Amino acid sequence: MAAAPSDGQNSKGNMWVLDQKLDQPMEEEAGRLRDMHREKRLTSAAILRLAFQSLGVVFGDLGTSPLYVFCNAFPRGVDDPEDVVGALSLIIYSLTLVVLLKYVLVVLRANDNGRGGTFALYSLLCRHAKIKTIPDQHRTDEELTTYSCQTYEDNSLAAKVRWWLEAHAYKKNTILVLVIIGTCMVIGDGILTPAISVLSAASGIKVNHPERSNDVIYWPVFIVAAAAAVIGSQATISATFSIIKQAQALRCFPRVKIIHTSKKNLNQIYIPDINWVLLILCIAVTAGFGNKSQIGNAYGTAVVIDMLVTTLLMIPIMLLVWRSHWTLVTAFASLSLLVELTYLSAVLLKVDQGGWVPLVVAAAFLLTMYVWHYGTKKRYEFEMHSKVSVAWILGLGPSLGLVRVPGIGLIYTELASGVPRIFSHFITNLPAIHSVVVFVCVKYLPVYSVPSEERFLVKRIGPKDYHIFRCVVRYGYKDLHRKDDFEKMLFESLTLFVHMEAVEEYYSDSTNVVTTMNGSTSSSAVDLTHSSSVDSSVPVQSYQSDCQVRSFGRNADLTVHEELEFLNKCRDAGVVHFLGNTIIRAQRDSHFLKKIAVNYIYSFLRRICREKSVIFKVPHESLLNVGQVLYV
């Protein structure tokens, strides 16, 4: 006899209870995929090659920075030779305290599987505490091979810090804004580094050869110096591309085109739109100032603020991720803040002498990123609150109350459970739906990469004759959508799921562990509570080998053959992609600033960003947009 439902379940109704039985999270499927991936070890030759390439990064930014500082330390010349020794001492101490002690010995250990940047630190925090402002995290995500997190004792300092961070929404927003500020300063660094590199190179030639400034030797040397400056600037430009991709994957930046320039190394990327923005702003800064001292002040402001943001993010990482003793955290924070706040007070005095440039650039990018994230968050909350119960959909019967036409319908949604509103909106306005329906949830997790073996999770919704599936596709912020692979791998996942589901059913029946129903079930509510088949999920890469399974029963083999043949016929009939086109508008009684942010800035960003259909490589003839308006 079943246990009596609790008072909370009674208050929610029988439909809610039924929906919980039909639409369980994919914990079992995710557990089966764990540790399927084995990361390849780099050879010694590859490590040496990467180490040699990293020298260019170090020399390109860190190695040339003291030259800018030393030049800007004496904009009006040297009055006392001892001042030169003092400035040089400050540079050496800064390199020792900031670069060696802070970054090399501490911060670099906080890398996310070799990936760095403020968003990499943010992803580490998101895995150890639920601080994402878009609450799409689930415990099934923790089953990933690349998803590393820790458990804490209830009374430990790390547990208290985690509870403190998760307690209020404003703390989560504060961390997000802090991360975005650090990102914006890196972008500002990418704009200023080429300008100050070229101007410093040209200025150095004139200082060393003032009488030959118009001589024939000037221009060849200038070309060589400018070329060296361009090579050195690639470090910050490449960092800007990388951090923009991370921000886009974590839904903090509009969708832009990303080109992978290497087939072997997916970390080498190029973003044309951002490159044009950097080019225009760099030329504007160089032409507007034409003075390396003012650009140096702007450069120092961007670097110091970025250093300060890194220190503030490292404090919770040391407490949560590393579980360091509070005395070590206090010592690190005190020493870092002592140096960085001193430099911050110095650069703030030069805001009117060029230091305002990175602040203006950061404000523009901060507004763009935060407004985009705000709109994305509201869209997710709208889908969560307006989703339809799976029990209600299945209660319509195998035909869903419509005509089932040949073909496969892929319904894209950001939800890993429930039925998106666009589907109910579609079936209430049109009299037909495809014979096979797949709810596709594409999730970007706070990890650097999701192995392809663990990317697709497939689950059946309802009885077999309904032909409704759910597929959760998981990506990291370094992953990319390969052309023509997405739809192919999704269909292979469905095929493999059907095959392995039959294997599990057969062995479950033979051992009397689980009793499953056959494919012919009625659409009554009683049958729905018992007729969902056993869920399974296996890696796509093992498809060729796993499909060579021994015959496991005549009836089961025939059923699998019939369903696979049915899926192939539906695929040949055509695949249609359903995408929601949600238009966000501010309510009439909203604040004036909110109306500007939502009705103008976010709408403008939506118009100029890349469409989801382009990201998923969906052909126009197979695309169907379902429009809806959301008032926030």
Per-residue pLDDT reduced to its tens digit, 249-292:
888 899 888 887 776 666 678 889 898 988 898 888 888 876 67
The pTM of the full predicted model, rounded to 2 decimals, is 0.78
Amino acid at 591: H
- Residue 201 near residue 230, CB atoms below 8 Å: no
pLDDT band at 316 (very low <50, low <70, confident <90, very high): very high
Q: Of 527, 302, 540, which Cα lies nearest the Cα of 394?
A: 527
Bridge partners of 259, per DSSP, are 270
Question: Around Cβ 425, how many Cβ atoms within 10 Å?
Answer: 16
pLDDT band at 338 (very low <50, low <70, confident <90, very high): very high
Residues 165-207 pLDDT 10s: 888 889 999 999 999 999 999 888 888 877 777 676 566 555 5
Burial of 57 (0-12, 13-18, 19+ CB in 10 A): middle
**Stronger pLDDT, 234 or 301, i.e. the higher one:** 301
- Both tokens assigned to 140: 């099934």
Instruction: Please give the Cα distance from 311 to 102 (Å, whole number).
Output: 9
Task: Note the pLDDT of residue 178.
Answer: 93
Beta-carbon contacts of 96 under 8 Å, excluding residues fewer than 6 positions away, are none
Residues 491-538 pLDDT 10s: 888 888 888 777 777 666 554 433 333 333 333 333 333 333 333 344
- Asked whether the predicted pLDDT for residue 370 surpasses 70, the reply is yes
Task: Note the pLDDT of residue 542.
Answer: 40
- Asked whether the predicted pLDDT for residue 311 surpasses 90, the reply is yes
Residues 450-493 pLDDT 10s: 887 888 888 888 888 888 898 888 888 887 766 557 788 888 88
CA torsion, ordered 312, 313, 318, 322, to nearest 10 deg: 180
Considering just the CA atoms, what is the radius of gyration of the chain in Å?
29
As a whole number, mean pLDDT of residues 389-416 equals 82
Q: Alpha helices of 512-578 — where are they, by DSSP H?
A: 525-528, 543-546, 554-573
* Region of poorest pLDDT, from 16-25, 73-82, 91-100, 215-224: 16-25
pLDDT band at 433 (very low <50, low <70, confident <90, very high): confident
Q: Where are the domains of the chain?
A: 63-378, 387-631
Task: Note the pLDDT of residue 532.
Answer: 38
Task: Note the pLDDT of residue 308.
Answer: 93
Task: Note the pLDDT of residue 612.
Answer: 75
As a whole number, mean pLDDT of residues 71-75 equals 71
CA torsion, ordered 122, 123, 125, 127, to nearest 10 deg: 160
Question: Around Cβ 59, how many Cβ atoms within 10 Å?
Answer: 14
- Asked whether the predicted pLDDT for residue 315 surpasses 90, the reply is yes
Task: Note the pLDDT of residue 134.
Answer: 85
- Both tokens assigned to 490: 């999704």
**Stronger pLDDT, 601 or 296, i.e. the higher one:** 601
**Stronger pLDDT, 145 or 414, i.e. the higher one:** 414
Measured in degrees and rounded to the nearest 5, phi and psi for residue 472 equal: -100, 120
- Asked whether the predicted pLDDT for residue 349 surpasses 90, the reply is no
Instruction: Please give the Cα distance from 7 to 180 (Å, whole number).
Output: 44
- Residue 140 near residue 26, CB atoms below 8 Å: yes
Question: Around Cβ 170, how many Cβ atoms within 10 Å?
Answer: 8
- Asked whether the predicted pLDDT for residue 150 surpasses 80, the reply is no
Task: Note the pLDDT of residue 354.
Answer: 82
3-state SS class at 577: strand
Task: Note the pLDDT of residue 30.
Answer: 54
CA torsion, ordered 387, 393, 399, 404, to nearest 10 deg: 10
Instruction: Please give the Cα distance from 146 to 39 (Å, whole number).
Output: 10
**Stronger pLDDT, 550 or 230, i.e. the higher one:** 230
**Stronger pLDDT, 513 or 331, i.e. the higher one:** 331
- Residue 304 near residue 347, CB atoms below 8 Å: yes
- Asked whether the predicted pLDDT for residue 447 surpasses 50, the reply is yes
**Mean pLDDT across the chain, nearest whole number?**
76
